[in-house]
Amino acid sequence: MKDFETLLSSHGLSAILNHIHAIVILAEKDGALIAWNRAFEPFKANFPADGKLGDLFTDSVDTQSRSQFKKMERWVTHIFPGEDKQTGLLCDCMLLPLENEQVLFVAELINSAPKLLDKVDRLSKQVEVFKNESETAKKLARRKEVEMSGVMAQASEISHVDALTLLPNRRKVLRQLEDEVQRAQRYHTPLTVSILDVDHFKKINDTHGHLAGDEALKQIGQILTDCIRHPDMAGRYGGEEFLILLPSSDATAAADQAARLCKQIRETQIQTAEQILQITVSVGIAEYQPTDTWETILHRADGALYDAKVNGRDRWVIKNPQT
C-alpha cells in the first residue's frame, strides 16, 4: 500500500483527485477550508466565503467537533448543495486527521437506485421515530418509578400513623421505644418514658357519646404535637392512653413536661356538637435503669400511672424500681 501511495504522489495526485467524482477537501482542524478538488466546485458556488465543513451538513452533524478527533472517522449523511436545505445528497463521508493537525475530508456520493434511496430515507425516519419513542418511554418509566416511590413512601407513613390523632401509632411508638432502650444501654444515656391517660374517659363516652370522646382524643393529640419537643416523641398507645418518649432526659425533665401538659389540657375547652367539655389527664413516669428492658420500663410507667389515678387524677407520678 505504501508503494502505491508513493507512485500516486509522484505521478500527479492532484490530477487524479480532480478527476474523481468524490468530494475531497483539505481543511484546518476547526473546519476552515484550505483547498478542494473539482467535485466540490458546484457546492462552492453557493458556499459562504468564510464557511466551514459543518456548513455542508444538517445541524445534527457536528463536523467541527469531528475534526478534533485524533483518529479516522467515517459516517453516512446528507450533503446539501449551497442553500438547499431540503434535498440533500446521500454521501459516504470520511474524515482523516493529518500529521500537521489539518484534516482531509472525503465524501463519495452513494449512487443508489431511487427506490433504495427512498427505503434508506424511510428507515432513517423510522429510526428517528423509534429514538423519540424510546426517549418518551424512558421518561414515562422514570416518572412512574418516581410516582411509585412516592406512593410506597406514603403507604409506609400511613401504616405507622394513628388515623384519629395523626400521631405515631402503637406499633411505631413501641418500635421507637425498643430502639431508645438499646441506645441508652449502649451509650449509657438517660431515657424517660411517660404514659398519659385521659381521666374518666369511659364516662365521657357514656355521657356525651363516642364522637365527643374522639374529639377529646384529637385535641390531646394536637396538644402533644404542639408541645412535645424534638427529640421527644409522642404516640397513641391505645384507647385513651398516649406514650411519650424522652431520650437524653431524666425524670425531672419528664415531670416538668407532665406538669405543663396537665395544665394545658386542664385549661383546654373541647367543643362538641352539644356542649363544651373540660377534661384532665394523669401521667405515669419511669426513668430508665441499667437493668431495664423496654417491657420493664413500660411496666413501671404504667404502675406510676395507676398511682396517679389512685391519688386523685389530674397529676403525675414518678415510679422508680425501689418505689
In a domain, 164, yes or no: no
In a domain, 70, yes or no: yes
Q: The domain that contains 24 carries what CATH number?
A: 3.30.450.20
| Residues 94, 54 within the same domain | yes
How far apart are alpha carbons 18 and 35 in whole angstroms? 12
| Residues 305, 181 within the same domain | yes
In a domain, 165, yes or no: no
Residues 6+ apart with CB under 8 A from 83: 46
Beta strand 281-287 with 316-318: parallel, antiparallel or unpaired? Answer: parallel
Q: Quote the percentage of the chain above a pLDDT of 90.
A: 45
Q: Are 286 and 318 in contact (CB under 8 A)?
A: yes
Tell me which residue of 289, 293, 323, 287 sits closest to 306, measured CA to CA.
323
| Residues 181, 309 within the same domain | yes
Look at residue 85 in the predicted model and tell me its pLDDT: 52
| pTM, rounded to two decimals | 0.56
As a whole number, mean pLDDT of residues 286-314 equals 96
How far apart are alpha carbons 315 and 147 in whole angstroms? 48
Point out the catalytic residue in the list 240, 274, 287, 295: 240
Tell me which residue of 69, 112, 107 sits closest to 91, measured CA to CA.
107
Residue 69 predicted with pLDDT over 50: no
Amino acid at 248: S
| Residues 181, 270 within the same domain | yes
How far apart are alpha carbons 211 and 273 in whole angstroms? 9
Active site residue 240: yes
Q: Provide the residue range defining the domain that includes 80.
A: 2-111
Q: Most confidently modeled of 38-42, 73-77, 307-311?
A: 307-311
Q: Could you tell me which residue, 191 or 149, shows the higher pLDDT?
A: 191
Specify the number of domains making up the chain: 3
Look at residue 224 in the predicted model and tell me its pLDDT: 96
In a domain, 48, yes or no: yes
Give me the chain's average pLDDT, please: 83
How far apart are alpha carbons 61 and 250 in whole angstroms? 72
For residue 15, name the pLDDT band (cuts at 50, 70, 90): confident
Residues 6+ apart with CB under 8 A from 167: 161, 173, 221, 224, 225, 234, 235, 236, 242
Look at residue 38 in the predicted model and tell me its pLDDT: 85
Cell matching residue 107: 465524501
